[in-house]
Chains A and B, each alone.
Chain A
C-alpha cells in the first residue's frame, strides 16, 4: 500500500549509530537532575562557542527583523521565496568560505546553491549526478547518514573504498582502483567519488597527496568528485586544511573538463554550531549542476528570516575573524582533554587536527577481533558505562574496535565525568581479566566453572540498572 521506500530500511535508522541516540534519549545525562544518565558522545555538534554569537546578537539589536535603518524588512522576508536565495547572504557565505580556506580559493556567489542543511545538499547533488542504480564511491569509514542521504530516495548505490588503520586510514590509489573494479564486477556504473574533508569520523584533514590521487582518479575515470567540507571551519591544528578546489588549482586544472566535475558541499551546522537553522549549500563550477540543483532546492529552501539573520552575523568581519580563532582554540583544548583523558585509561586516538570528535582505538578491549565483539563492547559502553559513543561498524569501518567519540557537544564538567567513567570501566575490565586469568591457571575444571559463573554475574549488566 505504501511505496517500497516507505516500507524498507534504506532510511538507515536501524543502524547502531541511531539506536545509541534512542537509548540516550530514554535516559539522558544531566549534571544535576540525572547524574547517572547516559552521556551523549555520539552527536557531532559544536557547542563550545555560542557565547560569542549570543554576545554579538546582544550588541546588534538592529538585526531584529522589524527594523533596518528604521525600515521594516520583516515583510520583505516573509514574501521572499526566490530559490536563488538572498543575494547578500550568498555574498557573505562565499566570503566566509574563502576565509576558511585562507583566501586561497575565491568563490562566485552565482555558483552557490542553498539547501536545507548538508543533508539536503548531498541528496540533491546525487539526484543531479546519478541515475537510480548507478553508484558513488565512498572511502570508509564514512558518516552513517550518507546511507540515507545518498541512497534512500535517489536509488543510487554506494560502493565503499576500503581504508585501513595501517596507514592511518589514508585514501590510496590502490584502494580507489580496487573499489572501481568491484563496482564494475557488480555491473554498477560509477558516476563519482564522495569524500569528506576534514573527515568524519576520523577528524583528519586530507593530505595533498590524497587529494591529488582523487583528482587523478576522477580525470582518468571521467567521474565527478563531491567534497563534503562541512567541517572545514573546525580545523584547529596543523597541517592546515586544503580544499579540493585548491588542489585542483595547484595543478592548473581550471580550464579543463574535471573542473566542472568538482563540487563542494558545505553547511553552517558544524563550524558555527547552528544545526537547527538548516543552512546547507552546494558549490559547483558546473552550470548544469547549479541550474538543476537550484530548481531542486525548492524542496528545501532556507528560511528567509534565517538567511537574513546570518547575513548580518557574517557581515561583521571582525566577529567572524574573532569567532574562527576562538572556536579553533577551544576545539583544540577540548580535544586534548579527551585525548589525554583516554590515554590515562590506556586508550589511544588517531592523531587528528579537525572535527568535533576523535577516532578512538579500542581494539585492545575487544574479546576478539570481530564485529560481534565490537557490538558487545559498544553495548557495554552505552548500557554499563553510560556513554553513547558510536561504533566503527556504523561508519562501515573495515576493522572492528574503532569508535567515534564526540567532545564538543558538552560542558567540561560532563567530559570529565565521561573520562572518569571510562577509567573505571577499563580498570574493572583489567581487574576482572587478571583474576580470570590467574584462577583459570590454578583451579580444577569444576571450580573454574563456578568461578566463570561468578565472574559473568559480576560483569554483566543489571537489566534494571538504567531504568530510572
Chain B
C-alpha cells in the first residue's frame, strides 16, 4: 500500500497525548442535570456561554440579519455568490469597529488590514506559513494553549521554542527568559522568526502589563523578529487592570517599533461565544503579510452567510456597547463566585482578571512534585470527582500541580454541582483545612488518605482518539 504523507501518518496533530483521557471520559458519560446527574462535567472547554440571551434578543429584533427570513431572503443571491477573499466590506468595517470598541476606542483598526481565516486556528497556521519556513522557529511563553502545537507546527514544519515562565513571579514573561529562549534556539540551530504571545493569557487568565509589553516590543525589534499577539480573549477582561493591546503599545511615544513586525490574531469564538461560526481574523501592520495572508485565506474564508450576520450585528453600536459591558459583568460574577467557593475549601488560584477559566493551584495535593503525580491526581479528578479539567503539563507548564478550569461554558446549576463535587472531594481528603481570603494562591497543607493513594496508583485509561479541546464531540441537536 503506497504510503501517505508524513504529516498524515505522524503525530503532529497532537491528539495522541494522554491529555485526551478527560475528553473521552466526558464523551462517554457527559453530565446532564436531569438525564445524567452523575456524569462528567466539562470544565476543559474554554467557551463563553454566558451572554447568549443578549444575542438571542438582538436576532429576534433583526430578522434581516438572517438570510432565511422573509426580511433577509432578498440578500440571499448576492451573499451566496460572494466569495471574494477580501471579505465583505461591511463585515470588515464592523469587525474593525468592534475590535476598537473592545480596546475602549483607544486605538482604531483599518478594515483593509483585516484578513479572514477559518477561526483563530486557521489564522495561526496562516501567520506561521507567512512568516516562517519549515525548520524555523517561534518563541512561545509557557504555559500556552495546547492547540498551538498543532496550529503552528503540524503542516507548516515550524518549530516552537518555549520561553519558561514560573509561578514564583506569577508567570511573568521576563526579558531574561526571552533571551534565554532565544539563545537556546540558536544552540539548537533554529532560526527564530517570531515571538507569539497570548494576551489575555490562556491558560493563566491574566493580562500583560504595559511594561512587559514594551519590553517585548523592544526585544523583538532588537532581534528583528516578528511579534504575534493572540488577543482572542480581549473582551473577556472583567476586572482591573485594564487590557492593553499591542496595537496601543506601538502608538506610544517612547516605543520605537518597526510596524512590519507586528501582527494580531483575533476571533469571535471567545469574546462573543460563536465558535461554530468560524470567524478568525489576521490583522497585520505589514502590507506584504496582509497581501499574502489574503491569498492564503482562500483556504479558510468565512462563510458569506456568517459575514452577513456579523456585519449586521457588530455595526449596531448600541448592541455592541451593551454586550461588552454585560459580558464583563457576567464573567466577573461567575469568576468571583467560583474562586470564592474554591477558597472556602482551601483551593487557591492565580489572581486573574480575564479569560473564561482559572489557573488552579493544586500543587499541595500532589503526592510528589512530578508530572507523573500530576497525571495521577488528574485521573482521580476525572474518574472520581468527575470533572474534566485540564492538567498544566498539557499547557507545557514547567511546574507540576497547576490545572486550568473553565467556568463560563455552563449554566449556574452545573457550576454549583461542580463546586459541590470539588468541595466534597477536598473535605474528604483533608487532614487540616485553613480558610483562605478571596483569590490568593493557596498555602494550604493537604495530604491524602491511604485509600486515595492506592486508587491513584492504578492504571489509567489511555484513549488516543478523542478530539482536540476546540473540537468537542458536542452532540448536535437539530
Contacts and interface: CB of A to CB of B under 8 A. Distances in A.
Interface of A: 1-7, 11, 13, 45, 47, 50, 53-54, 57-58, 60-61, 63-66, 68, 72-84, 86-88, 116-117, 119-120, 123, 127-132, 134, 148-149, 152-153, 155, 191, 222-224, 257, 260-261, 269, 273-278, 288-289, 292-293, 295-296, 298-306, 308-309, 311
Given A54-B76, A82-B471, A86-B478, A260 B129 contact: no
Contacts of A75: 52, 56
A260 B3 CA distance: 12
Contacts of A278: 83, 301-304
B5 A260 contact: no
B81 interface: yes
Contact of B292 (A2, A50, A223, A308): A2
B122 A300 contact: yes
Contacts of B47: 79
A83 B470 CA distance: 9
B8 interface: yes
B296 to A, nearest CB: 7
- Residue among A45, A75, A134, A152 with max Cβ neighbours from chain B (10 Å): A75
Interface string B1-36: 110111111000101000000000000000000000
Nearest to B465: A291
Interface stretch (B60-68, B165-173, B391-399): B60-68
Q: How large is the interface on B (under 10, 10 to 19, 20 to 34, 35 or more residues)?
A: 35 or more
Interface stretch (B179-187, B199-207, B271-279, B323-331): B271-279
Contacts of A50: 76-77, 80
A306 B477 CA distance: 15
A45 B81 contact: yes
B15 A303 contact: no
A154 to B, nearest CB: 8
Contact of A11 (B1, B121, B295, B467): B295
B5 A79 contact: no
A231 to B, nearest CB: 16
A4 B133 contact: yes
Nearest to A302: B303
Contacts of A7: 288
A281 B470 CA distance: 20
B40 to A, nearest CB: 17
B317 interface: no
Contacts of B9: 288, 292
Nearest to A292: B8
Of the candidates B6, B15, B129, B224, the one having the most CB atoms from chain A within 10 angstroms of its own CB is B129
B300 interface: yes
Contact of A296 (B6, B63, B155): B155
B73 A57 contact: yes
A299 B273 contact: no
A298 B81 contact: no
Contacts of B298: 117, 119-120, 148-149
Given A79-B275, A130-B5, A6 B130 contact: yes
A296 B122 CA distance: 10
Given A75-B52, A303-B278, A120 B300 contact: yes
B306 A306 contact: yes
Contacts of A87: 476
B49 A222 contact: no
23 contacts: A2-B289, A6-B130, A6-B131, A6-B292, A53-B80, A66-B56, A66-B59, A75-B56, A81-B470, A83-B471, A86-B478, A88-B476, A120-B299, A129-B8, A222-B1, A261-B1, A269-B83, A288-B8, A292-B9, A295-B15, A298-B121, A309-B68, A309-B305
B470 A298 contact: yes
Contacts of A191: 2
Contacts of B136: 3
Interface in B303-330: 303-306, 309
A53 B305 CA distance: 14
Contacts of B82: 275-276
B366 interface: no
Interface in B444-463: none
B303 A303 contact: yes
A116 B299 contact: yes
A78 B275 contact: yes
A311 B81 contact: no
Closest 8 pairs (CB-CB, A-B): A276-B304, A304-B276, A300-B300, A303-B303, A300-B118, A292-B8, A128-B8, A6-B292
B69 interface: yes
Contacts of B296: 11, 152-153
B188 interface: no
A311 B121 CA distance: 25
Nearest to A11: B295
B473 interface: yes
A84 B276 CA distance: 12
A117 B83 CA distance: 10
B119 A301 contact: yes
Contacts of A128: 4-5, 7-8
Contacts of B76: 50, 53-54, 57
Contacts of A83: 467, 471
Contacts of A275: 80-83
Nearest to B468: A298
B56 A72 contact: yes
Contact of B478 (A131, A261, A311): A311
Identify which of A54, A128, A191, A277 gathers the most chain B CB atoms within 10 Å of its CB.
A277
B472 interface: yes
A257 B52 CA distance: 50
